[in-house]
Every structure is written in structure tokens, then in C-alpha cells.
Chain A
Amino acid sequence: MPSLEFEPFFWTEKIIALAVILQGLELLQIRRAYAPDGIWVWDTLRKEFEIFPSVFQRLLDVTSAYPNFLILLLGQVALALVLLLTAEPSAPVVLGMLFTSMLIALRWRGTFNGGADYMTVLVLLILSLAGLFRSNESVRLGCLWYLSVQTMMSYFISGAVKLKNADWRTGRALRGFLSGPPYEPPAIFTAISKKPGLMRLSSWVIMLFELSFPLAILNPGLCAAFLCAALAFHVLNYAAFGLNRFLFAWGAAYPAIYFCSSLKVF
């Protein structure tokens, strides 16, 4: 079995640490939105948690009320800094990031940013497990494979559901997403959304890219090409839809895919 000292874990840890720091800073930027005179006011939200045991409600009262929630965010950023700056962080650091990520997601009624939150938690879950079994190479290898398969499936499933949708096959869906709320893309995207042929072509390029992504596992060269294309895809998604968090959350999983592709199992 190849050594797992490298590298995939090292890079995944560093990239997810960066992602979590940026996510935390973003939430601190918009603290007025969850302050007592903001939108996501804890007094309003807490009734949704009355279905849970009182101990859990009390925990959430402590972590989610303002300004305690700011302390939770700062704590998470501090843990992420430790992960970013230390060579061999201990498992409790990653477990702490996982726990705080889940508390933060709960404060936003499940997720703040959908897919990026899913991927962040998935990566932290995998890193936590790998950290707890640091001396067991089989478990660590399994963790890398699980993360790789989930990441490949994220593209594949996203492509498959689009392919099933007639609006995607005709380009109507992409035109809709590029021409109004909730994304309200910059004028250049709105202008190109008025070209039906280009929308149909772009939709098929996106679907084919997403559906073919699992081929990345076949060899490292192909994998590098797919990962570069995926990075470009996420930058374009940011430019069009403002989805910046996906770039870093998914980027954290790429070292695992690259490593698994280099094992040449297939």
C-alpha cells in the first residue's frame, strides 16, 4: 500500500482550514444580519428547536444567542488557523471545527450556503475520522476513497438531475438562472442568456462535464485535467452566480481524488 504520509491529508487540511477561515470571516462581516435587531434573530429561531430535548435546546441557547454566536465563530476561525499553521494538528482541532460547523449550520436553520456547507462538513468528518485512526492506514485510505467518491458523485448526480430535466436539455433552465433572481448575474451573463443556441450548447457542456467527472479517477493525468476544468467551472460559477464558497470547499477534496487516481486501481 502506498504511504499515506503525504500529502492528500496535508493539502486537504490546509485548504479546508482556509475555506473555514474565509467562511467564518464572511459570517463576521454580516453579523448585523443575526444581531438582536437583525433578520435571523435567535429569539425568533429558537421556537424551531422546541422539538429537541431540553438539554440540546440549552446548548443551542448558549451557542446561538448574540453575541455568543460571535464567540463561536471566532473560536472556529481560531481552530482553523491552528489547522492551517501547524504541521501535525491533533484530532480534537478538526473535531472542534466539525462540531462548530454543525452548530453554525443549525443557527441558519440547516445550512447557510447549501452545497458548500455540505462539502465542508463532509471534508471535516473525513479528516476527523482519519485523525482518530492516525495509525491505521486502511482506515485512512478508506477515508480518502470515501471523500473521492462523494466528490465525484457530487458532480455526477448534479449532471444527472440536469440531464433528466427537459428545461436543462433545451437551455431554458440556464437562461432562467442567468437572467434574474435569485442570482442576478452581471450584465454580460444576462446578455448571453438571450442567445438560445449558446444557452443550449453551454447547458450540454456543463452536463457532459459533470457526468464525465468520475472518469478523473482513471489516471493522474486525466485527473489533473478534470480538476483544472473543475476549478475553472467554480470560478465561472462565482462570476455568474456569486457562489464563491464552492471553490474552496470542493478544492479541499481534490487532493483526495488526485491521490486515489494515482493508485491506478482501475
Chain B
Amino acid sequence: MTSNITHRSLQLFRVLFPSWRFFDGPIEQPVLFYRVAAGGGEWSAWQVALRRPPRKWHSLFLNGEGNLFLACYTLLDQLEDDLGKMDVPDGEAFERSASFQLTRNLVCFLLRERGEMRNGCRYQFKVSRMLADGSPPCFEEILLSPAYEG
């Protein structure tokens, strides 16, 4: 417990402890998918949730959307990291974690922005790891959320 708190504090203050290990992480990245079902209907196919915004010349200076896109992937990394730290898998406890709730917020946010969050709809999301060198891409499921009412 104490070591968890220490670890969490260090994580939150990591800006004071620079790490210069860039591009040292795994090539395989977690990818977020969601699906929706309008008012009691069938589930849609799983869709990749995060889509890179177009990169323009001026986004060298102001790249809010591009950096938001990268921050969403950082959130998925944190989710996977937190999931890996659980000694015993406990879905309910994990659902209460900040990482899970932020990921759920992300899905709701995207559904609202894309006009897919309608009254009475249901949605569900999953996080899968894209395996390197797969052609077509191969995925390994890390987390599947319950179905939620929209």
C-alpha cells in the first residue's frame, strides 16, 4: 500500500524527475475501440476510437488537437499500466479507478463529438494491443468494458 502511494506520488510529480528515454517503450501500442447500439438495436461493428487530426504547417507552432490525440494515447498507456499493477483482477474496483473513468469519459466525449451518443443508446469499449508486424493488423484484447446506457 505504502509503496503504491509512493509510486503514485512519484508519477504525479514526474515532471521534476526528467526521463530522457524517448521511444524506448514497446512498439505494440494499446488501441481504443468502441461500439454503439441505438435504442435496443444491434451493436455496430467495433470502431477505432482515436483518429489523428490532420497535420498542417502551422501546427508546428500550435498543435492543440495533435497533442490532445497523443495525450489520449498516454491515457491508454496509464490504463494498461494500472491494470497490470492489480494483484488480483477485480473488474468492479478497476471500474472505479481514475484511469478507467477517464477512458470512459474519453469514449463518451468522442461519441458526443461524432453525434453518436443518442437517447437510449448503449455503448461499450475495449482496449486492445496492436501486435507489431501484423499485416493485416492483429490485436490482443486487454480490457472489455461493460455495456453502458448512453
Contact = CB atoms under 8 A, between A and B. Distances in A.
- The answer to whether A and B interact is yes
Interface of A: 22, 25-30, 32-33, 37-41, 44-45, 47-49, 51-52, 101-102, 105-106, 108-115, 117-119, 121-122, 150, 153-155, 157-158, 161-162, 165, 167-168, 172-173, 176-177, 180-184, 186, 235, 238-239, 242-245, 247
Interface string B12-43: 11111011111110011101000000000000
A40 B102 contact: yes
A39 B64 contact: no
Nearest to B96: A47
Interface string B43-73: 0000000101001000111111111111111
Contact of A242 (B15, B70, B74): B70
Given A38-B109, A45-B98, A180 B130 contact: yes
A93 to B, nearest CB: 20
B144 interface: no
A53 B137 CA distance: 46
Contacts of B101: 44
Pick the most buried of B23, B60, B61, B75: most chain A CB atoms within 10 A of its CB. Answer: B23
A168 B22 CA distance: 12
B106 interface: yes
Contacts of A184: 52
Nearest to A182: B73
The 7 A-B residue pairs whose C-beta atoms are closest, nearest first, are: A29-B64, A176-B27, A182-B73, A118-B18, A26-B64, A105-B15, A184-B52
A115 B25 CA distance: 14
Interface of B: 5, 8-9, 11-16, 18-24, 27-29, 31, 50, 52, 55, 59-76, 78, 98, 101-102, 105-106, 109, 112, 130, 132-133, 137
A183 B31 CA distance: 12
Which among A32, A108, A113, A181 has the highest number of chain B CB atoms within 10 Å?
Answer: A181
Nearest to B58: A244
A173 B23 contact: yes
28 contacts: A26-B63, A30-B67, A32-B109, A33-B71, A38-B105, A39-B72, A39-B106, A45-B102, A48-B12, A106-B13, A109-B11, A109-B12, A110-B13, A112-B71, A113-B71, A115-B20, A118-B19, A121-B15, A122-B18, A158-B23, A177-B23, A180-B130, A181-B29, A181-B130, A235-B60, A239-B55, A242-B67, A244-B59
